[in-house]
Amino acid sequence: MAGLFRGLMLEAHGGGAPRDDAAAHRDAAAVATDGDRDADAPDVAPDVAAYTSDGAPSGLRSDAAPSDGAAAPIADGVDTRASTPSGLAVRWRRLRTLMRREARATLRDPFTVTMLIAVPLGALLAFGYTLAVNVKDLALGVHDASGTAASRRLVAELAANGTFAPRRFATRDRVERALVAGRISAAVIIPPDFDRELREQAAGGRPAEIQVLYDGGETVVAGNAEGFLQGIAAATGTALVRDQRIAPGGGERTNGGGAPPRAGTATSGVKVVTRVLFNPTLDGTPFMVAGTFGFVLTFLTTLITAVSIVNEKLTGTFEQLQVTPATSGEIVLGKILPLGAVFALDVVLMVTLGGVLLGVWPKGSLVFFIVVACFYLLISLALGLIFSATSATAAEAVQKTVLFSIPLNFLGGFIFPVRNMPFVFRQLAQVLPATHFIEISRAIYLRAAGPLALLPRLALLGLFGVILMAMAFRTVARRA
């Protein structure tokens, strides 16, 4: 306890903290003053105050034998005041002062206060919306080869409750190209003889059929969308068959023998024939392997780069670089290119390891994937340099990187598909470079997409690269 007093007294008088930190001096001095005042207070028990530091009563010889009925000598090193009510009050006042000091230190830091308040609220909203399993406004391709009132009613029912956002395509080939490019997650193909099949079903024939195509690469979306499509098609098909059985004059249609359809015949609605593209077994491993590249190349690359300039500032080597003839642009390139080469090797190793151990190889061009991944590395490295140049300590740079990784995990599509999110969060996800790279990675890995199909996302990724590289150059030059 005496050591605690000496440490707090040193801090109060400038021995343990810089003299310009007046708030810290006042807090430490308050602790020391409370301890000294409580130690000299008259309410301390006389038998405690009468003992010296070696446990002997003041004014008595330490070797004197205690009289009968007297208390035994107190052992060395025991704080006798802590065992008395007044001693507990002393310790409580010291603890209260220390807690007040820590609360003041925390509230003085705006960044810490923001993290304590904003992060839990943001996590609550992100988890509540992105982890929802319901399908809402999912892009659904529609090829209506029938063009009848019955087929138009089926499409209207698909869009009625907000589950799907139908997009019409003139041909089946355009529907499949949209699935490869990732513009839609599922598609409905209505055959030309859909209306005739409904009439035959009403007369007791087999059920009418529609075909549904799924992007099997996104297993979560495929599973959820299939259940909704089955339910809507069954309900709408039952209503269409019932309408077909009603004769124009209000009577009930009859089959070829003049008798009404048998009870229970063909009342199951429209039959949905499903076809899963790109991942027929709906295996979730390819989905996660392709997304892992985006997570690793964003989080780990940014984290390692973020602490580089901060550490060099602390060691003084960054100032040595500034006095050399090298420009700020050369300094930036000299930092990110070696790291980029190392992480490019990591990409090759990850592709090899995923293929050999997990059996997941890119269905598209491997060279194209590695080129896109290397370009994305430059974006992540530039982002790490921005975090590093704008941070005073390595801990602050790490905190910024961790805060950036939270929306990456839940809004960037690494774990949960962006298409399954509400509209607002889908738009927020578009401002993250990781969202576009993860989508490109999965398109190459799962759908064998090429540069032409991915041209819009490649253009956005290039725009992000130009903006972040320019910001990195300016930020480092300003800090130089």
**pLDDT single digits (tens) 185-205:** 889 999 999 888 888 888 878
258 found inside a domain: no
Q: At what angle do helices 219-245 and 194-202 cross, to 10 degrees?
A: 60
What amino acid occupies position 244?
Answer: Q
362-412 per-position pLDDT tens digit = 999 999 999 999 999 989 988 888 888 888 888 888 888 888 877 776 778
Residue with more model confidence, 162 or 220: 162
Q: For the whole model, what pTM was predicted?
A: 0.64
Tally the domains of the chain: 3
Residues 192 and 88 in one domain: no
Whether the pLDDT of residue 41 is over 50: the answer is no
pLDDT of residue 281: 74
Residues 209 and 230 in one domain: yes
Identify the weakest region by mean pLDDT among 7-11, 21-25, 81-85, 440-444.
7-11
The Cα–Cα gap between 369 and 344 comes to 11
Residue with more model confidence, 47 or 362: 362
23 found inside a domain: yes
Residues 220 and 316 in one domain: no
Residues 8 and 107 in one domain: yes
Whether the pLDDT of residue 99 is over 50: the answer is yes
CA-atom Rg of the chain in angstroms: 36
50 found inside a domain: no
Residue with more model confidence, 258 or 421: 421
pLDDT of residue 144: 92
Strand partners, 188: 142, 212
pLDDT of residue 200: 84
Residue with more model confidence, 191 or 307: 191
74-83 per-position pLDDT tens digit = 445 445 555 5
Give the domain range for residue 446. Answer: 284-479
Q: CATH number for the domain including 177?
A: 3.40.1710.10
Average confidence (pLDDT) over 257-265: 40
**In percent, how much of the chain has pLDDT > 90?**
15
- Give buried/exposed letters for 443-467 (b at 16+ CB in 10 A, else e): bbbbbebeeebbeebbebbeebbee
**Residue 155: in which H helix or E strand, if any?**
helix 149-160
Average confidence (pLDDT) over 447-463: 91
Residues 92 and 198 in one domain: no
128 found inside a domain: no
Residues 84 and 164 in one domain: no
Whether the pLDDT of residue 421 is over 60: the answer is yes
Q: What is the 3-state secondary structure (H, E, C) of 343-411?
A: HHHHHHHHHHHHHHHCCCCCCCCHHHHHHHHHHHHHHHHHHHHHHHHCCCCHHHHHHHHHHHHHHHHHH
74 found inside a domain: no
The Cα–Cα gap between 126 and 355 comes to 33
Whether the pLDDT of residue 19 is over 50: the answer is no
Residues 272 and 288 in one domain: no
- Give me the helices (H) in 40-148, please: 46-49, 85-107, 110-130
315-364 per-position pLDDT tens digit = 777 777 777 777 777 877 887 888 888 889 999 999 999 999 998 999 99
Average confidence (pLDDT) over 448-452: 90
129 found inside a domain: no
